[in-house]
């Protein structure tokens, strides 16, 4: 009896509930629907919702708890002898010695890693994948595998029964409550309101979850590396020795070079995007004839849809060599992965972002202000410079901040076009690295999770999150304040 079948039953009961609820409402109305408090469909929905939702919650809770509970039951059912014979084959000698010294305590002797390994073996066996050449292992854990299989069957059947009972019971109860005075519409709408609230909180809880995980792992990182060293240190070299006997750098986690690198690239991007975006917004909203506008605006928005990875290879294959050639011709020493190339391409990427937002803001300036200025004998450009732009300024600043936060968090372009070396420099022709690039390069490849190197990723992520969050909040506040003024 699979879970799919149970969910199918649930849907079926819901559907039956709808049909039954609706027809009973029609029946109790006795031919004049108008005597009902709500239209019949609401009575149907009422029964269907209550037949479906509580049982659905039961299924979800059951699914969430089933795994851990069964793991615990299965391991609890193993005796010391079985664990020992499994361990003799599967564990390395050192770990085996440890285990055997306190085997009397049965499963408690197992470390978390070994517990997982044992469970995987049992589950594979239960699934019929007898991959173990050594029959001793199979013998040892066969009872546990059987146990697991039984538990699974039992669980599915119990769930099926529980769902059928709960759903059917709710259906019968709700059905019996239907009478012409019953306020089905209010009831259904309340349930729907709760569903809406639930959906909207999912995003919020996800965000909170991400922030908390960033926070806790960062705290772990800061127990290994002092906060002050991370925030104010000038040297970034995250290579740490994996084993005690390994010859390697001790690792240093001063993130200032990453922050300056990120800022350098973002500033270059904004230097490109701000004037270009703003001026194209002014042209589009103030000067462009309707036809040009209706053509150019969608095209600009297509530019915003180009995948960043495409910009990335555009940066590294076209722009970077071009800049280096020019630099060399001028006698400058230009790195092949210069911050300039990455920044310029990133700037192009956020041009449509800036221009689209600024265009909205400029359009929101009331025509009355333009008329007032023109009516005083101002020219169009005087009106734009002295009335429209000052009026739109808060919104434009907001747009710039949103674009900047986009540039700071952008990853793909810098991964491809910026370097890996953490140079502390403000020279745009040098190679720099950014926070996002470091996060990516640290997490790619095999890492021990507890190492300072891996954990540093969370601290970097936290800083990145904090900066973009502040930028976004400030930007949205500015834009909002501005909107209130003219609406």
Partner 1 sequence: MDTTTLTKNTEAVSTQPVKVSARDVKVFYGAKRALHGVNVDVYKNEVLALIGPSGCGKSTFLRTLNRMNDTIDICRVEGKILLDGQDIYDPKLDVVQLRARVGMVFQKPNPFPKSIYDNIIYGPKLHGLATRKDEFDEIVERSLKRAGLWNEVKDRLQEPGTGLSGGQQQRLCIARAVAVSPEVILMDEPCSALDPIATAHIEELIDELRESFTIAIVTHNMQQAARVSQRTAFFHLGDLVEVGNTEEIFTNPRDERTQGYITGRYG
Contact footprint for partner 1 (CB under 8 A): 289-290, 366, 368-379, 382, 386-387, 390-391, 485
Which of residues 257 and 398 has its CB atom nearest to partner 1 in the complex? Answer: 398
Q: Which is nearer to partner 1, 260 or 373 (CB)?
A: 373
The residue (of 267 and 374) whose beta carbon lies closer to partner 1 is 374
- We find the least distance from the C-beta atom of residue 367 to partner 1, in angstroms, to be 8
How many angstroms separate the CA atoms of 176 and 17, rounded?
11
- For partner 1, which is the closer residue by CB, 277 or 394? 394
Q: State which residue, 43 or 482, has the beta carbon closest to partner 1.
A: 482
As measured in angstroms, the least distance from the Cβ of 380 to partner 1 is 9
Minimal CA–CA distance to 438: which of 254, 244, 227, 208?
A: 254
Q: Bridge partners of 252? A: 237
Q: How far apart are CB 375 and partner 1 at their closest, in Å?
A: 4
CB of 44 to partner 1, least distance (A): 50
8: exposed, middle or buried (C-beta count within 10 Å: 0-12, 13-18, 19+)? exposed
* 286 vs 430, beta carbon nearer partner 1: 286
Q: In whole angstroms, how close is the CB of 376 to partner 1 at the nearest point?
A: 4
Q: How far is the CB of 404 from partner 1 (least distance, A)?
A: 25
Give least dist CB 273 to partner 1, A: 26
Q: 189: how many CB neighbours lie within 10 A of its CB?
A: 14
Q: Which is nearer to partner 1, 129 or 294 (CB)?
A: 294
d(C-alpha 364, C-alpha 361), whole Å: 5
Q: Output the smallest distance, CB 354 to partner 1, in A.
A: 22
Closest approach of partner 1 to the CB of residue 301, in Å: 24
Nearest approach in angstroms of CB 362 to partner 1 is 14
Nearer to partner 1 (CB atom), residue 201 or residue 386: 386
Residue 370 vs 406, nearer CB to partner 1: 370
Q: Which is nearer to partner 1, 20 or 365 (CB)?
A: 365
HEC assignment per residue over the chain: CCHHHHHHHHHHHHHHHHHHHHHHHHHHHCCCHHHCCCCHHHHHHHHHHHHHHHHHHHHHHHHHHHHHHHHHHHHHCCCHHHHHHHHHHHCCHHHHHHHHHCHHHHHHHCCHHHHHHHHHHHHHHHCCCCCCCCHHHHHHHHHHHHHHHHHHHHHHHHHHHHHHHHHHHHHHHHHHHCCCCCCHHHHHHHHHHHHHHHHHHHHHHHHHHHHHHHHHHHHHHHHHCCHHHHHHCCCEECCCCCCCCCCCCCCEECCHHHHHHHHHHHHHHHHHHHHHHHHHHHHHHHHCCHHHHHHHHHHHHHHHCCCHHHHHHHHHHHHHHHHHHHHHHCCCCCCCCEHHHHHHHHHHHHHHHHHHHHHHHHHHCCHHHHHHHHHCCCCHHHHHHHHHHHHHHHHHHHHHHHHHHHHHHCCHHHHHHCCCCCCCCCCCCCECCCHHHHHHHHHCCCCCCCCHHHHHHHHHHHHHHHHHHHHHHHHHHHHHHHHHHHC
Measured at the CA of 101, the angle between CA 100 and CA 105, to 5 degrees, comes to: 80
Give 31 or 375: the residue with its C-beta nearer to partner 1. Answer: 375
Which residue, 271 or 397, has its beta carbon nearer to partner 1? 397
Least distance to partner 1 from the beta carbon of 299, Å?
Answer: 22
Minimum distance, C-beta of residue 285 to partner 1, in the bound complex (Å): 14
Cα angle, residue 460 at apex, residues 457 and 464 outer, rounded to 5°: 135
């Amino acid at each position: 009896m699979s879970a799919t079948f149970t969910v199918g039953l649930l849907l079926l009961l819901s559907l039956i509930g709808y049909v039954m609820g609706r027809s009973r409402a029609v029946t109790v109305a006795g031919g004049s629907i108008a005597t009902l408090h709500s239209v019949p469909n609401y009575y149907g929905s009422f029964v269907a919702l209550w037949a479906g939702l509580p049982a659905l919650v039961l299924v979800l809770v059951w699914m969430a708890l089933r795994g851990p509970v069964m793991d615990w039951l299965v391991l609890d059912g193993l005796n010391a002898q079985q664990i020992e014979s499994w361990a003799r084959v599967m564990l390395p000698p050192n770990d085996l010695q440890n285990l055997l010294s306190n085997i009397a305590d049965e499963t408690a002797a197992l470390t978390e890693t070994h517990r997982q390994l044992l469970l995987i073996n049992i589950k594979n066996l239960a699934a019929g994948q007898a991959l173990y050449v050594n029959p001793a292992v199979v013998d040892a854990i066969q009872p546990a595998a059987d146990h697991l299989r039984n538990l699974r069957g039992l669980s599915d059947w119990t769930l099926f029964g529980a769902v059928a009972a709960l759903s059917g019971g709710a259906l019968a109860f709700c059905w019996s409550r239907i009478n012409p005075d019953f306020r089905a519409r209010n009831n259904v709408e309340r349930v729907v309101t709760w569903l809406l609230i639930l959906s909207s909180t999912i995003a919020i809880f996800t965000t909170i979850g991400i922030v908390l995980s960033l926070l806790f792992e960062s705290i772990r990182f800061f127990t290994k590396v002092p906060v002050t060293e991370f925030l104010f240190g000038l040297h970034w070299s995250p290579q740490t020795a994996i084993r005690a006997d390994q010859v390697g750098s001790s690792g240093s986690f001063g993130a200032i070079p990453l922050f300056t690198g990120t800022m350098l690239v973002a500033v270059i991007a904004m230097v490109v995007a701000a004037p270009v975006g703003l001026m194209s917004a002014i042209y589009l909203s103030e000067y462009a004839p309707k036809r040009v506008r209706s053509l150019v605006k969608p095209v600009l928005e297509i530019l915003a849809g180009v995948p960043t990875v495409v910009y990335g290879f555009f940066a590294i294959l076209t722009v970077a060599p071009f800049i280096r050639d020019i630099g060399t011709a001028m006698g400058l020493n230009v790195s092949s992965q210069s911050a300039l190339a990455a920044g310029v391409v990133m700037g192009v990427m956020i041009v449509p972002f800036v221009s689209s937002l600024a265009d909205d803001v400029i359009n929101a300036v009331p025509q009355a202000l333009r008329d007032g200025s023109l009516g005083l004998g101002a020219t169009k450009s005087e009106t734009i410079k002295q009335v429209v732009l000052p009026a739109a300024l808060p919104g434009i600043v907001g747009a710039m901040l949103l674009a900047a936060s986009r540039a700071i968090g952008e990853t793909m372009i810098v991964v491809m076009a910026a370097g890996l070396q953490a140079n502390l420099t403000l020279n745009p022709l040098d190679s720099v690295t950014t926070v996002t690039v470091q996060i990516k390069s640290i997490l790619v490849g095999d890492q021990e999770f507890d190492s300072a190197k891996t954990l540093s990723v969370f601290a970097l992520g936290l800083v990145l999150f904090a900066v973009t969050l502040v930028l976004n909040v400030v930007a949205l506040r500015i834009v909002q304040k501005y909107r209130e003024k003219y609406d």
